[in-house]
Amino acid sequence: MDPVADARALISDRFPAALAAFLGDGALSSRRTTTSDLDIVVVLTGPPAPYRECHQWRGWPAETFVHDRDSLESFFAKDTARRRPSLARMCADGVVLSDAGGVAAAIRERARAVLAAGPPPATEAELDALRYGLTDALDDLAGSSDPGELAVIGWNVWAATAELALIQAGAWLGSGKWLLRELRATDPDLATRLVAAIGDRRQLITLATDVLDRSGGRFWAGFRAAGR
């Protein structure tokens, strides 16, 4: 199957009036698997955008993220605030499927500017909350003897450690597999060591503590959050 040709056919069939469309690079890269889908950003002139919809298309699972230019800008801002620039990445790094009068080129330039500007720096309150959460999870990890709970707590510690390391570096965050991808791009040595520590409680605690120490160390007593 040709992901670009199939994605273009989907746009032609379902969105013939699209101003622009982009195919995310997941189905095009070396990371593609047998279950990879077509992630497609579609830009319309207005309603029914914005919405998100899943399709089965020519043997592909395909997910369309349908926007107009105003909603695209709004979602760029929301993604920046949460430090997860998934939409901007699809527009900046993906393949252009359609482009009416240079709209796709302008959107790509804007998306690349969003990525280059980077995420907002963490506030002191955000760092305190991250330190508190990781400290609390580390205590649970150290004290648990239930194999199932250990697996769940271990994942929480792993993810919190990766997120704190990325925030310390002023880097973007990611969800699921993208958390590891962002960490590999930002701190490949830590990413390698964290992967090796999966299932190894002692090593995971050591790595998490090292990352915590970069932000002032463990933090539990004295933590206070408004409105809780």
Residues in a beta bridge with 80: none
Give tens-digit pLDDT for 37-75. Answer: 899 999 999 999 999 999 999 999 999 999 999 999 999
Please, which pLDDT band fits residue 32 given cuts at 50, 70 and 90? low
Report the alpha-carbon distance of residue 8 to residue 77 in Å, rounded. 28
Half-sphere exposure of 86 (CA within 13 A, CB side): 14
Per-residue pLDDT, averaged over 8-31, amounts to 90
**Does the pLDDT of residue 26 top 80, yes or no?**
no
Question: What confidence score (pLDDT) does residue 1 get?
Answer: 75
What band does 226 get if pLDDT is binned at 50, 70 and 90? confident
Q: Global pTM?
A: 0.90
Question: For residues 153 and 149, what is the distance between their CA atoms, to the nearest angstrom?
Answer: 6
Percentage with pLDDT > 70 across the chain:
96
- The reported pLDDT for the residue numbered 125 is 94
What's the pLDDT score for residue 178?
Answer: 92
Give pLDDT, residue 28: 80
Q: What is the pLDDT of residues 115-157, one digit of tens each?
A: 999 999 999 999 999 999 999 999 999 999 999 999 999 999 9
- Cα angle 17-20-24, degrees, rounded to a multiple of 5: 125
**Does the pLDDT at position 33 exceed 70?**
no
CB atoms within 10 A of CB 226: 5
| Positive/negative CA dihedral, 188, 191, 197, 199 | negative
| 191 CB-near residues (< 8 Å, 6+ apart) | 162, 180, 183, 184
Domains of the chain in start order, with CATH, are: 3-117 (3.30.460.10), 124-213 (no CATH)
User: What does the mean pLDDT of the chain come to?
Assistant: 95
pLDDT for res 30: 67
d(CA 145, CA 135): 18
Indicate the Cα dihedral angle 88, 90, 94, 99, nearest 10°.
Answer: -70
What is the average pLDDT across 3-24?
Answer: 96
pLDDT, residue 158, reads 98
The closest of 218, 186, 26, 64 to 119, measured between CA atoms, is: 186
